[in-house]
Amino acid sequence: ISAVEDLTVAGDNARRLGSFAGLTESVLAAACSRVGQKVLHLDRRNYYAGNWASFTFNSLLSWIQEYKAQQEMPSTESDQAWVGKIEEGEDMLPLSSVDSSIINLEVFSYASEESEDEEVVTPSVANSFPKDSEAANEEPSGSSVEPQHSDSPGDRTQGAAEPPKQETEPSEACKNRQMPETQQSNQSEESDKQEQPITRPAEAPIELNKRITYAKLLKEGRRFNIDLVSKLLYSRGSLVDLLIKSNVSRYAEFKNVNRILICRDGRVKQVPCSRADVFGSKQLNVVEKRMLMKFLTFCLDFEQHPEEFQGFSEKPFWEFLKSQKLTENLQHFVLHSISMADQEILTEEGLKATQHFLQCLGRYGNTPFLFPLYGLGEIPQCFCRMCAVFGGIYCLRHSVQCLVVDKESGKCKAVIDTHGQRISCNHFVVEDSYIREEQRTKTSHRQISRAVVITDRSVLSYESDQQISLVTVPPLEFSSPAVRAVELSSSSMTCMPGTYLVHLTCPASGSAREDLAPVISNLFHVPNSSGEEPMQGTEKPLALWVMYFNMRDTSGLDSSCYSLPSNVHVCTGPDASLGCDYSIKLAESMFNQLLPDEEFCPPAPNPEDIIYDGDGAPGEGASFEETNHAERSGPEGEGQPQENGQPSSESSEPAESTDSVAPETNTESKVQISPTEE
CB atoms within 10 A of CB 59: 21
The CATH number fitting domain 275-360, selected from 1.10.405.10, 3.40.50.2020, 3.30.70.100, 3.40.1350.10: 1.10.405.10
- Quick one: fold of 2-108+128-186+375-444+558-594? FAD/NAD(P)-binding domain (3.50.50)
When computed from its CA atoms, the radius of gyration of the chain, rounded to whole angstroms, is: 29
The 3-state DSSP class for residue 400 equals strand
Q: Tell which residue, 579, 587, 411, 567, has the closest CA to residue 29.
A: 587
List 570's β-bridge partners, or say none. 430
Span 470-486, average pLDDT? 86
Instruction: Compute φ and ψ for 256, nearest 5 degrees.
Output: -75, 140
Identify the band that residue 17 occupies on the pLDDT scale cut at 50, 70 and 90: low
Q: Report how far residue 340's alpha carbon sits from residue 318's, in angstroms, rounded to the nearest whole number.
A: 12
User: In this prediction, what percent of the chain has a pLDDT beyond 90?
Assistant: 41
Instruction: Tell me the mean pLDDT in the region 546-553.
Output: 95
163-211 confidence digits (pLDDT tens): 334 433 444 443 444 444 444 444 444 444 444 444 444 444 444 456 8
For the segment 554-581, the average pLDDT, to the nearest whole number, is 89
pLDDT tens, position by position, 515-540? 999 999 999 999 887 767 776 667 88
pLDDT at 514 over 90: yes
> Cβ–Cβ contacts within 10 Å for residue 530, how many?
23
pLDDT tier at 21 (50, 70, 90 boundaries)?
confident
Q: Using one digit for the tens of pLDDT, what is the confidence trace for 76-120?
A: 555 556 676 788 888 888 998 888 899 999 999 999 887 755 544
- Identify the band that residue 256 occupies on the pLDDT scale cut at 50, 70 and 90: very high
Look at residue 10 and tell me whether its pLDDT is greater than 80.
Answer: no
- The domain limits of the chain are 2-108+128-186+375-444+558-594, 196-256+368-372+449-552, 275-360
Q: Report pLDDT for 675.
A: 44
Q: Is the alpha carbon torsion for 459, 460, 463, 468 positive or negative? A: negative
Across residues 125-137, what is the average pLDDT?
38
Whether the model pTM is above 0.85:
no
The CATH code of domain 196-256+368-372+449-552 reads 3.30.519.10
Residue pLDDT, tens place only, 57-88:
999 999 999 988 887 776 555 555 667 678 88
In 3D space, the residue among 651, 653, 482, 489 whose CA is nearest the CA of residue 578 turns out to be 482
